[in-house]
Chain A
């Protein structure tokens, strides 16, 4: 079965239970203790030691309006995670075959294979995976492969008190998301959108999101592309360049290089 995450930020209370549950379950080291001044977010993004991250999208507050008021975004929370891309840049690029697709459709870094080449870091269009300096290997959300194998849901979904993180059959989740969007739009919350870049080369993600307003405010890129789309032009250019190099060399020497 292909499983997925549907993270609905209209139900997220920003409690960070998912972030902590992930760290606890996976025994991830702490981030540095720095006060960011950026709303209530002090861990600031996904990384080698933050596999679930709750964003705090803060805009101007208006007296009278709660955060659930249609048409106004005051303080939205959104729990971010590795997108488990249909076409995953990291997986394609990994030279050791450390990154694999599991039977649940998730993208998994095998910690016993990874040699820390760092190439996945620059090929993820969502800036998710990163190399941990003191360890040397690359880390990101495992989609709780260990738990899924055991028939359990991921730790983050389990900890979420509000159902903001739904875990389950991907097709099923997509249907739930469609219904949810319809409900929200029906209730006047027309700025709610699903972020699941299916129309780009990423081909959709197994972890997808419902957010209000422009996804870019959540650092969800408008048009993520999987870098493998660049292979053809780049290799073509490389082949031409190599050819040119060979020809030029031969010509240089053939054309009276005796002197």
Chain B
């Protein structure tokens, strides 16, 4: 090995590194903190070694899926009630009620499955806390589930009453999840606290309409609803400051069905495609939002790329 005296070569190398540091704000090459270069530092610029301050959500796939099913079910209950009061065909009302009931029925288990201690689900009902969207949601889901099932299990006035309650709760179901994400500490969610509820509402309504369309209901009302939902989604999405993935997911529930419906609204296949796209979009956006939350824990200001790479490399 060479003796460790600074020679022309080592000096040159140091100089190169310093220059690289200065011009690029980071050193990609191995080694070194030549003085003056940005290093894995705990500083006002990078926070604590660029380590995330916040904790990522612990939720797994069940939660975004539940957001989707719960939203769609809520939307369906709303459609069912609207259809009923406006005297739409009974088959549509029935199917919408069934979609709501089934959606409600799978939502509960999904939510429970995600708990760290599923057997303690009932602890959610120990208290009602208006300031906890999760608590509000738990009660909403409970009342929605009961009402939506009652709506398909009963006839006559009780059925209408149940359907009304389900619709009311369904409106909550479709929107509260937006509040749930919005009223948190994670930057990407909290920044969108007042956009997320309408965004989720629109996508819930769109999904419900789409499901019913795919079940063979081809009335204009559903088409209009889906069109309005897609349009709202398109507008709302343009207001979001989100990653490309979330945007891509949003395209399926916003622009794509919007265009399909606006341009080829008379075509059966276009409507089918639009419905499928909206459903997919709604599902994907829910996943994308939870993912986005995970990604946003590396709160600003972000660490320098070189540092992240280096520390990441060290941590493996």
Contact = CB atoms under 8 A, between A and B. Distances in A.
A/B: CB atoms within 8 Å of each other: yes
Interface of A: 34-39, 41, 44-45, 47, 55-60, 89, 92-98, 113-119, 121-133, 135-138, 213-214, 216-219, 221, 224-225, 227-228, 230-231, 233-242, 244-246, 248-250, 252-259
Contacts of B180: 119
B185 A227 contact: yes
B124 A96 contact: yes
A121 B297 CA distance: 11
A213 B15 CA distance: 30
A259 B115 CA distance: 45
A148 to B, nearest CB: 24
A36 B315 contact: yes
Contact of B185 (A45, A58, A116, A125): A125
Interface string B55-75: 111110000000000000001
A233 B193 contact: yes
Contacts of A118: 57-59, 114-116
A73 to B, nearest CB: 9
Contact of B316 (A34, A57, A249): A34
Given A233-B193, A234-B179, A249 B134 contact: no
5 contacts: A37-B311, A45-B48, A117-B134, A130-B58, A238-B176
Contacts of A133: 58
Given A96-B127, A122-B54, A252-B222, 18 more contacts: A37-B40, A37-B310, A45-B52, A94-B129, A115-B120, A117-B124, A121-B56, A122-B185, A217-B48, A218-B42, A228-B131, A234-B133, A235-B179, A239-B175, A248-B225, A249-B81, A252-B82, A258-B87
B196 A137 contact: no
A96 B293 contact: no
A257 B311 contact: no
Contact of A238 (B41, B43, B190, B197): B197
B83 A257 contact: yes
A245 B134 contact: no
B201 A138 contact: no
A111 to B, nearest CB: 10
B63 to A, nearest CB: 8
A129 B55 contact: yes
A237 B115 contact: no
Interface in B179-226: 179-180, 182-186, 189-190, 193-198, 200-202, 204-205, 219-222, 224-225
Q: Give 4 nearest A-B pairs by CB, closest first.
A: A116-B116, A136-B116, A37-B314, A257-B221
A125 B115 CA distance: 22
A95 B132 contact: yes
Contact of B134 (A119, A216, A239, A248): A119
Interface centre among B33, B183, B201 (most CB of A within 10 A): B183
A55 B134 contact: no
Contacts of A219: 47-48, 51, 53
B58 A231 contact: no
Nearest to A233: B194
Nearest to A134: B116
Contacts of A255: 221, 224
Interface string B265-308: 00000000000000000000000000001000101000000000
